[in-house]
Structure 1
């Protein structure tokens, strides 16, 4: 097992690697560098006199990489599991088990038959996907279409790609509304932390963040019937997806097991109430 000192760390932070991971690979993994940058900024805020931890600030002292998953049997890092030692001089520690996977995008696709009046909420439906989610022990979990972000490209571009792959819909980037960006401030909150303008579905154990995009479209009523139960997804990538249409007012119940669906519903209702969508 090899180790190195994390660049620009104060106090010096030792990073212990696994045998199958090099320093360059780790420092080239965007979720790791994004996580470190965010954490180090948040730790630096403790020097402010009004910070909760100012009298006994926490410091990042070491990082132990526990395991790495590579995608496609190659050298592209998919996920990293690590343990961070974040403690103060009083020997008080913060929980530091982290599953690094980076950002994802969620898409709330709202469809309305074109035989109802425009600019109304009448008869709107939301497109959900039913697909196997082995970590949840499910072979048919109802959720908003979603996917991991690649290292390049915009959030909106990633969302448009996922919509096409999971539903077959061709959607232009400029037709997407980033509801998370409209609702959330540029920083985490009044603390000044530099968090993503997105939802963190499992912040106690993972860095994953998910901005929720909205796409609204009027379609023929027959098209709604055609899409109900349609099989989609990249079958050669192991995606076995069935489409499910639910009424907008029932999304909170039909998608109640999916954090993305609940967040999408809440953002939609809140932004609509404020006249922003």
Structure 2
């Protein structure tokens, strides 16, 4: 809803693309910590991508569909907008506070909201939600970072259960930074260790939103600063996903078969001297005392589509190219 209301504004007010990138961009040294009032280091990491090393507490992922699994020891109910009451259970490995944190979390509430929204699968009464089993929780400081649960959803016509295992991590942002120098367009990438896939990945600067999910553009700007040392301005940011049809929610879902993550993709374009490109490439960033090891890469934009496996980058390329073709982007020449 927020992005739908912001989309006309973004289309009416084309971003300013400064003649000299350095006029609107500052670099920060490696040891600098982003100042965010009362938000401490752990909260900083809480917004970051799933594989970053953080101070978290992980609890068991025992599923109740295993013949050897112990019966759930936690139980609660939630009432849907239809008035139907749904049973919520928790794995025995969860503590009472973890179970309560899970069902009270913004992640779980947003998932229920999506299920019952205008395009939700429960809205047209073709599907029914019978129960939810909370299997695991990852706490980021005092808040819930990730959830894993199993939802028993049935097709009302056939009576068959549909796949319902959910890894919940909520909203994220990523930024496509294109820098023109000497007649060549370059893109700024980060190289990070990605434990879930067991390899280093070249990807766009990105990160997770806080629980309230209200400051999407601000989060995008902060992530760029933390991961690359580049400071951008709100007026220069273009929300590429705002160009999508409003019926889509103006976000992309990279893995909807198992994860609820929804991503807003932004664009920044600017002009720099070649010395800036050289200074950026190979720069080491990240909160290293928290195990966050990031190396900045700068590559020609024309080669990006076949040098990265990052779905965020590939989706951003597609949206950027189509927006250019449709004349939705202002010229970056002046």
TM-score bucket (shorter structure):
0.7 to 0.9
CA distance in structure 2 between the aligned counterparts of 1:268 and 1:166, rounded to whole angstroms: 22
* 1:192 aligned residue: none
CA distance in structure 2 between the aligned counterparts of 1:81 and 1:21, rounded to whole angstroms: 16
CA distance in structure 2 between the aligned counterparts of 1:163 and 1:21, rounded to whole angstroms: 38
Summarize the alignment of residues 111-190 of structure 1 with structure 2, pairs less than 5 Å apart.
Answer: 111-113=179-181, 116=182, 122-138=183-199, 140-152=200-212, 153-182=214-243, 184-188=244-248
2:115 to 21, 39, 43: 39
* 1:191 aligned residue: none
| Cα distance, 1:40 vs structure 2 | 1.8
| Cα distance, 1:141 vs structure 2 | 1.0
1:86 maps onto 2:153 in alignment: yes
| Cα distance, 1:8 vs structure 2 | 2.5
| Cα distance, 1:131 vs structure 2 | 0.9
Count of aligned pairs between the two proteins: 249
| Cα distance, 1:155 vs structure 2 | 0.8
Gap runs ≥5 in structure 2: 1-72, 330-334
CA distance in structure 2 between the aligned counterparts of 1:129 and 1:25, rounded to whole angstroms: 33
1:13 to 86, 91, 106: 86
CA distance in structure 2 between the aligned counterparts of 1:45 and 1:7, rounded to whole angstroms: 15
1:4 to 71, 76, 79: 76
TM-score, scaled to structure 2: 0.71
| Cα distance, 1:237 vs structure 2 | 2.5
CA distance in structure 1 between the aligned counterparts of 2:237 and 2:163, rounded to whole angstroms: 37
Bigger relative contact order, structure 1 or 2 (CA pairs below 8 A, ≥6 apart): 2
Large movers: runs of 4+ above 4 Å: 21-24
2:302 to 249, 257, 267: 249
CA distance in structure 2 between the aligned counterparts of 1:65 and 1:4, rounded to whole angstroms: 11
Corresponding residue SS for 1:262: helix
| Cα distance, 1:209 vs structure 2 | 0.9
8 Å CA contact retained: 1:201, 1:208: yes
| Cα distance, 1:92 vs structure 2 | 0.8
Gap runs ≥5 in structure 1: 48-56, 117-121, 189-195
8 Å CA contact retained: 1:69, 1:80: yes
2:325 to 254, 273, 276: 273
| Cα distance, 1:24 vs structure 2 | 4.7
8 Å CA contact retained: 2:74, 2:96: no
| Cα distance, 1:9 vs structure 2 | 5.4
1:100 to 168, 173, 180: 168
Corresponding residue SS for 2:245: coil
- Render the CA deviation track for 1:189-239: whole Å, top value 9, x for unaligned: xxxxxxx32111110000001111001121111110111111111212321
* 2:273 aligned residue: 220
- Render the CA deviation track for 1:58-91: whole Å, top value 9, x for unaligned: 10110000111112xx432111100000003442
8 Å CA contact retained: 2:122, 2:128: no
CA distance in structure 2 between the aligned counterparts of 1:131 and 1:228, rounded to whole angstroms: 14
